[in-house]
Chain A
């Protein structure tokens, strides 16, 4: 019979070759979408690489010289290369850029606007840019989804996979979708912060006295110049009608403030929020990546080996959970006050690492049950019976079953981390100025809540609640999608949220 052995399977390459059209259409579309944003893609990507490299170099040399391209450590060369690529990315033409659709300009005597996009008033110019950015983001996501559908329809060999059911359930889950949309808006705000803000971090917060603002002076009838710092001071919100720039209004210098301005030394609240979203997202994702990784690794090991392995992790995690979070963070703040780690995001990185260390026990406990459950499945025994390596068994036969839970509890925990970060900034022990952090805006604005300048504390407060709720909704959606029978999941999910927010 050996002569009629058939090798009937067709590798993906050949499947693509026989029917290239759908894949080609998709790939060309994706290339176009990325091309128009090439500059932003490159600079964001290499910005992240640069950060990672700096931290790595810092960790190796144990000194703060890893930071920035100007230091003389050996690894600094790498950093400076990455930095120059990032800078190069910034010079590439990008469709959704401030320079293509500028919103910063000034009026002239006739009342017309100069320097803005098509001479539109700054509010419209800015709004147009925001709409374009989100349109682009959602188009990109939809294109990714379309790519998946294309694959399923034309190239996948299985006509059904268990994942299809998950996707179907997610498609019918309105609450989860609501969460997803808000999360995408939030992530968009963070990713596109330099483009989406009416002004920039450098100009508005970091070095305001090095930038100039042109404005139309009604008294003299001419276009005058001042520094951004001075303009910020004048236009700041201080709780009185005379000194207040509320949401959706222009200040004395013809600058539009979607969320109003901040208290002294002033500045645009929306810009602050956009960059602050970056910081929150960075901390949240870093912390969850660290704790999720530890939790998954321990979850698999304890479930596979049980007994002593499990017991020791229980002891360790209990000890960590017994530490009062606030106290530990204050301690870290003091001990690491002059450490090089603190220089990233004014302590933001340090905070992220601390959260990563503090939150893994919670995540581990959340996945421990599911991990034990799959470890009892006979397919794990089967893998042993034909000599599969334990690490491969864990990865192949156990990990897929706990990843979903990790995603669920991870999204809940990110919400908790965002709240805790804000709370710490509120207490003035978190991330220091000038790095924008939502909690600090709430803290700064809290004495103005009952005044004209209510927006300083209220808008960030509402956004925090919205984002955290959305993350929870998203987590609910995933949980219901991967585990449709989980009626009792409610309690556990809330528990995790409470644990996450309990910092």
Chain B
């Protein structure tokens, strides 16, 4: 691909009107309490921007750090490093009054409507609380139509921030207008304007108390989110999940934020209700010009509502771009794998499911290089192994993944003691693993005997099959129960799965069938495991078979005209593009 050049962020921000810029953001948890333990790298260096008024989807498997990222953006978590620019100001450095003031601009809707509403408070009290905290409304005043110095006294004060003032007074004349959103009838406000040569003094009097205005605002919010005004005095218990989520949305909107993080807002709801809530969210966005970060694990929901999508894996953003295009034609190997997991509504599309091996690595101990390296189906091979057959390569990767996962599982105290005492530990199961992972082969004579046994069993002559097997295979050779093995063999044959029957015997009695060039390396690693030195085995395999994916962090390559980026080495000129390799895998 010709446009595989690194994205220049500054080039892009010029044409866009960004509300949020996230640069090199990291959020680590020092959890566990044990001193010196590795922090959880929930968000491990992400960069992205959110344009004013757009909806950015954030998807990924659970535990990938998407919720932490969302919470960091609204300052529910502290960033470890990096910056979050909100209207150009780094909110990670905010504190005290400044932080509190900013909190009006960024709100969050939580996933679980059961847990997000205090069920000892009435709906009215719940929605009103943010208003109380910020002593809403400001009753700030803009005075227009004069160049003179303006002072405002009485119930209001001069508007000091960028937000639209609650009340606008025209000078001269003293015409008043109250902005939408403040439930204050104009006839309840009066002003007294006195003008001198150099200054204007506006004295404002409002004959409705703030708390009354708040309660009126709460009632309006209730109708805004599709509830009824009378619900003010009800308790959360009296509502369904969907209604409770509406209450949560009303609370988030109470302070008229610009930016709302939606943390899986519909995943706890019935499918029938989900669509309604999503529609509501879209309507509200339109009405109030909101900017959303929509966190989800359900890709179909994201596709429906988001303008752009970021795909997250293990604290990194793997791919980010226009949502339609990303769904149509995913570039990043992880995105492809993730998308292949959702059932395609289009039956003509013969896309094959890609199943990933293993589980995501622990965010305490992420892999070096690409975060997806332990599971990537199209991982780059070192050039010397390019021609190696798929089965062997897959076997080596699988072995590495198994060793990796085992190193994660905490060893119990007894196991540790047994290891120290040189007694047999669970690591001795390596033989079984090797049998599972690599293909095995018999010598020609035994191979022939095997075929005869299958023929006999197939022809209903089980005794003959048993005899043949008994003659050629020594029960002493294997630690498994020979009779059980033969029984399983025969029932496999009867079930018609001959290949399974063959490999059953081959795995037990055959030699590991790997090409000679890798054979000694694999055996060295296996020997390390046998002697209990699993870490050395891992290191060794990494040194021998590791590629650029294991060694270097990829870059965010621009992969389309719209500026989509993908975090993968395969976009570099010297490698094949991921989709090409995927095609060859499927064939």
Contact = CB atoms under 8 A, between A and B. Distances in A.
Interface in A155-213: 157-162
A2 interface: yes
A401 B121 CA distance: 12
A307 B216 CA distance: 41
Nearest to A388: B133
Nearest to B215: A9
11 contacts: A2-B183, A3-B187, A5-B216, A158-B234, A160-B237, A377-B118, A385-B107, A386-B129, A386-B130, A387-B103, A401-B120
A378 B116 contact: yes
A159 B238 CA distance: 11
Interface string B240-252: 0000000010010
A154 interface: no
B515 interface: no
Contacts of B104: 386-387
B76 A384 contact: yes
B76 A378 contact: no
B180 A378 contact: no
A162 B120 contact: yes
Interface in B231-288: 232-235, 237-238, 248, 251, 254-255
B115 interface: yes
A326 interface: no
A387 B100 contact: yes
A48 interface: no
A161 B235 contact: yes
A338 interface: no
Interface in B127-147: 129-130, 133-134
Contacts, number: 103
Contact of A382 (B116, B212, B234): B116
B184 A5 contact: yes
Interface string A1-19: 1111111110000000000
Nearest to A374: B118
A397 interface: yes
Interface string B95-134: 0000110011001101110011111111000000110011
B133 A386 contact: yes
Residue among A158, A382, A386 facing the most chain B CB atoms (10 A cut-off): A386
B435 interface: no
B444 interface: no
B551 to A, nearest CB: 37
Interface in A371-392: 377-379, 381-389
B186 A3 contact: yes
B185 A2 contact: yes
Interface in A190-244: none
B115 A379 contact: yes
A307 B30 CA distance: 11
B164 to A, nearest CB: 14
A7 B216 contact: yes
Closest 6 A-B residue pairs measured CB to CB?
A5-B183, A386-B130, A378-B116, A158-B233, A387-B103, A387-B100
Given A6-B216, A159-B234, A381-B108, 7 more contacts: A5-B185, A158-B234, A160-B235, A377-B115, A378-B115, A381-B71, A386-B104
A22 interface: no
B129 A388 contact: yes
A308 to B, nearest CB: 10
A70 B180 CA distance: 68
Contacts of A382: 108, 110, 116, 248, 251
Nearest to B106: A385
A502 interface: no
A498 to B, nearest CB: 30
Nearest to A158: B233
Given A158-B233, A307-B33, A382-B110, A2 B120 contact: no
Contacts of A9: 212, 215, 232
Residue among B115, B118, B130 facing the most chain A CB atoms (10 A cut-off): B118
